[in-house]
Amino acid sequence: MNLLPPLLTPRHQLTLALHESHTKAEVYDLAVVGGGATGLGVALDAASRGLRVVLVEADDFAKGTSSRSTKLVHGGVRYLAQGNIALVREALHERMTLLRNAPHIAQPLAFVVPAYRWWETAFYGIGLKMYDALAGATGLGATTFLTRSETQSALPSVQPQGLRGGVQYWDGQFNDAQLAVALARTAAREGALLLNYMKASRLLFTQGKVSGVACNDMLTGKAYAIHACCVVNATGVWVDALRAQDGQHQHIVAPSQGVHIVVEAHFLPGSKALMIPKTGDGRVLFAVPWLGKVILGTTDTPRDDLSTEPLAFEEEVDFILREAARYLRVAPQRSDVKSIWVGLRPLVKPPDDEGDNTKGLSREHTVLVSPSGLVTVTGGKWTTYRAMAKDVLQKCADSGLLPQRQGLTDHLTLVGAEMTPIAPQPLSAPQGLHSYGSEQKWVQQLPGHDVFLTGGLSEAMVRFAARYEYAVHVEDVLARRSRLLFLDARLAAQWAPRVAQILQEETGLDPALDSFVQLAGQYLFPPT
Ligand SMILES: Cc1cc2nc3c(=O)[nH]c(=O)nc-3n(C[C@H](O)[C@H](O)[C@H](O)COP(=O)(O)OP(=O)(O)OC[C@H]3O[C@@H](n4cnc5c(N)ncnc54)[C@H](O)[C@@H]3O)c2cc1C
């Protein structure tokens, strides 16, 4: 199979395309607002149906919640405990589809639940056997009961005191921001026009019906108008702002903050994840090996302000460290934190909700069509982005906003997944050339392919990000094309000036170096 070269993403061409459709008063079938998991999934599904699609993202793709997940492709063991069988079954199906369509981005991962009380092995084991049964043919491996010594060899750093045994089960993990960029690029391959740094500032109406969006280029300040038969509001925790412009003033999102901290791999050696089903306050806690480090998290704290860079509360960090210390032989300290990041869950709020207990709110998604035809989608999780997209397009078709057409994403391989080797490197290994899947040879053809800034990030990779992956700012490269900011904030700040030079050479645009260096300080603990 001869691979086509990747599509170029020069900013001036993307904005020119938007300008031309503006001057010709062209009408798109679909305009999607928001370039996270949800919006990108909708854009790709619609483009695969042959629809004319445009997507605008106010910041970079996955700048919002979609780069700040726990990186699990999962059915949601905890929703099983809540009895939400349909949600789990759907997510398990989606888990398999993603692993098949993007094996360089999403892979199976073994999780071990250590048992310290006599009843835990049987209790969790039976639940996880049900999880296997629900997965059926899409299962990734059988749940197994572990003895004390088997648990210790699966998790060499687990706290041995009081350990009785454990349970091992299978789920998946992925690189969330990489998946977002792959979705954007695959949608572009299918004919969609996607622009980051293009904010939808105002809804446009014709005879009381939503007929498009007015946008502002966040890099130049230039204004554009996009006309479309259907507008989808996929702005995550920010959906209520656009809904308000449409006269819908009832808030449907109750944001909940989740904090993750990153520590060195030696705190959890090996390739298996640790899962604690019930922490001191009833939450789930994970320790997950990822890209050469270990992620610990998360929390679930209600939050009203909707910053794109929320800060962790000190007590959240202490909570994670304290809980980790209960299960790890060597407890990570505050000084071991390499990076800390915070994401806002777009939890769907029941109409009469007055409480602040977001742990109990629905992780399912909601699709609403307003009287003027604005389609809003929010909630759900990364794992189910494709199922959410299908639902959105079905609702659009049922409402007469789009034609009824069959989606084609079930077997649509994402960019980089063509001819991916059968056994790609595990996601627990540091990022490197292998992370590009079938696109490795294009990276290797660029200048600087043998000049590494830091392990796993070459100059050629920065050029690749600028030429083919919509990267403009240093942050786009160091936070989301490479994940260095999320893995080691100090190191990211150290390499930022060189990344800025290369980006400027490639794009001729301001790479926003200073704001990145300032941002990197927020990913340290305590923030500087
Ligand atoms: C802590 C945490 C852990 C999680 N872990 C997992 C996990 O392990 N597995 C899993 O499956 N799911 C997980 N999730 C859930 C998952 O990450 C989210 O459901 C998903 O990322 C939401 O995507 P989204 O596109 O709806 O929102 P976002 O990613 O926030 O995207 C919305 C986008 O809209 C843009 N936007 C806003 N206003 C405008 C405008 N006016 N014009 C243009 N663009 C605009 C924003 O910049 C943003 O990029 C987790 C979530 C959190 C918070």
Report the pLDDT averaged over residues 298-302: 92
- At 165-220, the pLDDT tens digits run 999 999 999 999 999 999 999 999 999 999 999 999 999 999 999 999 999 999 99
| pLDDT for the residue numbered 15 | 98
Report the pLDDT averaged over residues 138-154: 97
Q: Which residues pair with 377 in a beta bridge?
A: 367
Widest CA span in the chain? 72
Report the pLDDT averaged over residues 276-289: 90
CB neighbour list of residue 251: distance below 8 Å, 6 or more residues apart: 240, 349
| pLDDT for the residue numbered 351 | 55
Q: Is the CB of 363 under 6 A from ligand 1?
A: no
Please tell me the pTM assigned to this model.
Answer: 0.97
| Span from the CA of 381 to the centroid of ligand 1 (angstroms) | 8
| pLDDT for the residue numbered 363 | 59
| Rounded-to-integer distance, Cα 470 and Cα 441, Å | 19
Residue 421 pLDDT exceeds 70 = no
| Rounded-to-integer distance, Cα 385 and Cα 393, Å | 12
Residue nearest ligand 1's atom 48 by CA: 64
* Separation of first and last alpha carbons in the chain: 50
- At 347-356, the pLDDT tens digits run 888 555 444 4
Look at phi and psi of residue 354 and say left if phi exceeds 0, alpha if psi is from -120 to 50, else beta.
alpha
Query: Residue 179: enclosing H or E segment and its boundaries?
Result: helix 176-189
Q: Is the CB of 76 under 6 A from ligand 1?
A: no
Spatial contact of 128 and 114, defined as CB atoms under 8 Å apart: no
Residue nearest ligand 1's atom 18 by CA: 381
Which tokens is 498 given?
């060189």
Spatial contact of 425 and 432, defined as CB atoms under 8 Å apart: yes
Q: Which of 55, 61, 66 to mutate to test the pocket of ligand 1 (most atoms within 8 A of CB)?
A: 66
Residue 148 pLDDT exceeds 60 = yes
Report the pLDDT averaged over residues 450-461: 96
Q: Is the CB of 57 under 6 A from ligand 1?
A: yes
| pLDDT for the residue numbered 355 | 44
CA-to-CA dists, residue 383 to 96, 344, 386, 443, 456, angstroms: 10, 16, 8, 28, 26
Report the pLDDT averaged over residues 46-58: 98
Which atom of ligand 1 is closest in space to residue 91's alpha carbon? 11
Report the pLDDT averaged over residues 244-252: 95
Look at phi and psi of residue 435 and say left if phi exceeds 0, alpha if psi is from -120 to 50, else beta.
alpha
- At 463-520, the pLDDT tens digits run 999 999 999 999 999 999 999 999 999 999 999 999 999 999 999 999 999 999 999 9
- The b/e string for 433-443 (b: 16+ C-beta within 10 A; e otherwise) is bbbbbbbbebb
| pLDDT for the residue numbered 353 | 45
Pick 80 or 101 by higher pLDDT: 101
Q: Using alpha carbons, select from 133, 137, 144, 132 the residue that is nearest to residue 171.
A: 132
| pLDDT for the residue numbered 80 | 82
Exposed/middle/buried for residue 382 (C-beta within 10 Å: 0-12, 13-18, 19+): buried
Residue nearest ligand 1's atom 35 by CA: 34
3-state helix, strand, coil in the chain (%, to 5): 40, 25, 35
- At 355-398, the pLDDT tens digits run 444 554 555 899 999 999 999 999 999 999 999 999 999 999 99
Average pLDDT of the chain, as a whole number: 94
| Span from the CA of 14 to the centroid of ligand 1 (angstroms) | 24
Report the pLDDT averaged over residues 40-45: 98
What's the gap between Cα 9 and its chain centre?
21
CA-to-CA dists, residue 227 to 45, 54, 230, 314, angstroms: 20, 10, 9, 46
Q: Is the CB of 66 under 6 A from ligand 1?
A: yes
| Span from the CA of 157 to the centroid of ligand 1 (angstroms) | 33
Q: Is the CB of 389 under 6 A from ligand 1?
A: no
| Rounded-to-integer distance, Cα 354 and Cα 350, Å | 9
| pLDDT for the residue numbered 354 | 40
Residue 50 pLDDT exceeds 50 = yes
| Rounded-to-integer distance, Cα 318 and Cα 73, Å | 26
Q: Using alpha carbons, select from 500, 415, 489, 473 the residue that is nearest to residue 5.
A: 415
- At 317-366, the pLDDT tens digits run 999 999 999 999 999 999 999 999 999 999 888 555 444 445 545 558 99
